[in-house]
Amino acid sequence: MDETLTILADRIRAARRLTILTGAGISAASGVPTFRGQDGLWRQYRPEDLAIPEAFERNPRLVWEWYDWRRGKIAGCRPNAGHQVIAAWSETRPECSVVTQNVDDLHVRAGTRNLTRLHGSIWELTCWDRCAKGAAAWRDERVPLGELPARCPQCGGLARPAVVWFGEALRGDDLRAALESTACDVFLTVGTSAIVYPAAGLVHDARRQGAFTAEINLEETPASGAVDVAIHGGAEVILPRLDELL
């Protein structure tokens, strides 16, 4: 493990463009439940059962109850050492891009620069009917949210979390920024199960373009066999160790 860490640290030190993709695992040590870990199951529903427009159409209250539960958990969480190392790199390295799938805002709270949030923010809402004034997302940090399902203050119809569900397109600007960031020297994927696309494809795009690729995760993922180095361990432990070696 020490040898792989040194190899990766050498590559990061020499890199001009560094891109880091994060998933739920980076926030696990902060206390945010991951999606596919044991603590991520809410009333036995899988994310694929709730994070889809059809679930919201069928039962908006149930989906809102899941989000209200998650907002309550996240509200009590703080960025951990992993978020802090990434924020410091984004501050000190001019060509560092951070792409996250997380909606918890912990990278923002750690002060991360040049951040693309592929799946939105759990603290923002939009109008489900996309009424003229409710189409732009608004921020609502109340915990709990109050009466569920939440309502659009403009038209009184249903509001939804301003996040990307399965089958929905990512925002064009976000996807473009993420794809552009794959033209890098080192691409580091951290704490993601690497099964949800298009995010899961980014590391492969980076490798095809000649980047040195690395993964930090507690477990093997579908990306582990494809990257140049796969490091097994907690992001909150490995990232600070990597930072010390730079």
Binding site for ligand BJW (CB under 6 A): 23-25, 28-29, 34-37, 40, 47, 51, 101, 103, 119, 163-169, 191-193, 195-198, 216-219, 221, 234-236
Q: Which residues are catalytic?
A: 119
Report the candidate in 163, 214, 140, 178 with the shortest Cα–Cα distance to residue 53. 163
> Per CB under 5 A, which region of 10-18, 127-135, 177-185, 188-196 contacts Zn ion?
127-135
Q: Which two tokens stand for residue 32?
A: 């945010």
Selected binder of Zn ion within 148, 155, 179, 226 (CB under 5 A): 155
Q: Which residue is nearest to ligand BJW (CB)?
A: 25
Distance CA 210, CA 187 (A): 10
**Nearest residue (CB) to Zn ion, 159 versus 230:** 159
CB of 124 or CB of 185, closer to ligand BJW:
124
Q: How many angstroms separate the CA atoms of 243 and 98, rounded? A: 16
| Residue 164, helix vs strand vs coil | coil
Secondary structure letter of residue 7 according to DSSP: H
Q: Considering the rule CB under 5 A, would residue 150 count as an interface residue with Zn ion?
A: no
Nearest approach, Cβ of residue 243 and ligand BJW (Å) = 15
| Closest to ligand BJW by CB, 155 or 229 | 229
Binning the chain into helix, strand and coil, the percentages to the nearest 5 are 35, 20, 45
How far apart, in whole angstroms, are the C-alpha atoms of residue 2 and residue 245?
A: 10
Query: C-alpha distances in angstroms, 106 versus 38, 193, 204?
Result: 21, 19, 26
154 binds Zn ion (CB under 5 A): yes
The amino acid at residue 25 is: G
CB nearer to ligand BJW: give 213 or 217: 217
Interface residue list for Zn ion (CB under 5 A): 127, 131, 134, 152, 154-155, 157
